[in-house]
Amino acid sequence: MTSEAESLYRSLVADGDDPEAPRRVTVEHRGDRAIVILDEPDRLNVLSAPLVRQLRCAIEDLAADSDVRSVVLTGRDPGFSAGGDLKMMRMATENPGRPEGVADVWRWIRREFGGVARLIAGSDTIYVAAINGPAAGVGLAWALSCDIAIASERAVIVPAFGRLGLLPEVGTSWALTRRLGYQGALAYYLRGEHIDAHEAQRLGLVQQVVAHDQLLVAADEWCTRVAAMPSHAVAMTKPLLRASADAGWHESLTMEEFAEPTCFTTAAFADSVRTMLARSQA
């Protein structure tokens, strides 16, 4: 049995949950929306244990808040995130003979890095990634896990996996193959070249590029689009579209057929029908 002292995963969780640890994530509530800021700018919002654990807790709290319909995920300038913490990576490589072996690394990747991605993707809340500067590694993976990704003109997509001898991780392989196709995703990985904001938009990695000082304004506009729609429609459409990305045409059609009748029972739909009928008869 691995002791507390021997377990790298438990040690990282303890470091991340230390009440004396500085705040690395800031949450700003604004009515029906919230802004979550990765907040260690001196290290380009590197994914330290405190930042990761604080982010996970913040997202769990937001997912449980039914009044919050959209969340903007961004970084404190000058960047979105430099990705994984090299100090943490060194800890993982220095003692390969630990009783837990690579299972400890797997636990951190799956439960913490992957846990954040699953919360973003699995929540009914719409997540808007506002990429304000360099985005690399798992930080980039989280941005690509969001429902909408927009970028400032200072944004840079950094495919760092290959240079480190790693694979695309935390959902990146899924996101890249769906946006770029297999050959495009492999070329992205092999080149490992920095991609500026406008090229990222051309490739479909982000949906909008704006001036740097307008990034949060643009993100808020997406939140306003969410707020303008009936809450059930957006909440039901998100999982439908995500599931359809992996389904065939017949399966997608069937999911739509089962979901749509529920919408007919809502007051929002009934009001829309009455309004349109009134206009047509005027």
Structural domain spans, the chain? 8-228, 231-281
What does the H/E/C string look like for 107-133? HHHHHHHHHHHHHHHHCCCEEEEEECC
Mean pLDDT of the residues in the chain: 89
What backbone phi and psi angles, to 5 degrees, belong to 193? -90, 145
Confidence tier at 263 by pLDDT (50, 70, 90): confident
pLDDT at residue 235 in the model: 93
pLDDT at residue 98 in the model: 63
Tens digits of residue pLDDT in 223-262 = 999 999 999 999 999 999 999 888 888 888 888 887 878 8
Tens digits of residue pLDDT in 157-169 = 998 877 778 888 8
Buried b (16+ CB within 10 A) or exposed e, 214-235: ebbebbbebbeebbeeeebebb
Q: How many CB atoms lie within 10 A of CB 9?
A: 20
Confidence tier at 4 by pLDDT (50, 70, 90): very low
Tens digits of residue pLDDT in 111-156 = 999 999 999 999 999 999 999 999 999 999 999 999 999 999 999 9
Of 95, 101, 200, the closest CA to residue 150 belongs to 200
CATH number of 8-228: 3.90.226.10
Of 32, 156, 154, 10, the closest CA to residue 83 belongs to 156
Would strands 70-75 and 33-38 be described as parallel, antiparallel, or unpaired?
parallel
pLDDT of 181 > 60? The answer is: yes
Helix locations, the chain, DSSP H? 8-17, 49-63, 86-94, 102-107, 114-122, 137-145, 172-191, 197-203, 215-228, 231-244, 249-264, 267-281
Top mean-pLDDT range of 10-14, 47-51, 89-93: 47-51
The distance from CA 178 to its chain's CA centroid, rounded to whole angstroms, is: 16
